[in-house]
Amino acid sequence: MSFFGDLIAGQGAAKASNYNASLLERDATVQEQNAEQGYKVFEQYDLPRFDYYAEKQKDALRTSTLAAGVEYSGSALAIALENQIMIDTDRDMMQYNAEIQKEAGLNQAIMQRAEANVERFRGKVAKKASYFQAVGSLLSDASTVGAI
């Protein structure tokens, strides 16, 4: 009988869609975790390391300037200020890039969750469509039996 086959096919399509949706949800969670972890690495490792070496560079510049007997004003001060501006610019660029990368990962997770919702909807539609097909085949079988 086609009636039961249609119902079983609809239920199978719904189960497959729900399974695919659960995989997409899991992938979205992993994507979020990766985005958050990547940003934590930036905050806890990359940025402190950058700050450490920037301070070493500033200290070395100040020491070499003073060791050379140059007064820490005028051109020497201008060089130190330019150096500080470059350090701040580099730090800001690192921060910006880390935030962009984090947001891209979180947006990817949002897209995967949206795709999971679409997949669930497809399953519901397939299940409802199977009901209509089953009713249609039942009516078709009934009209065939009635014609005999």
pLDDT beneath 70: ranges in the chain: 1, 3, 138, 141-148
Contact yes or no for 7/146 (Cβ under 8 A): no
- Give the per-residue pLDDT at 16: 87
What residue numbers bound the domain in which 32 lies?
A: 2-147
What is the Rg, in whole angstroms, of the alpha carbon atoms belonging to the chain? Answer: 32
Tokens of 57: 């560079």
- Give the per-residue pLDDT at 97: 97
Longest dimension (CA), the chain: 116
Count structural domains, the chain: 1
Q: Distance (Å, rounded) from C-alpha 133 to C-alpha 140?
A: 10
- Give the per-residue pLDDT at 29: 95
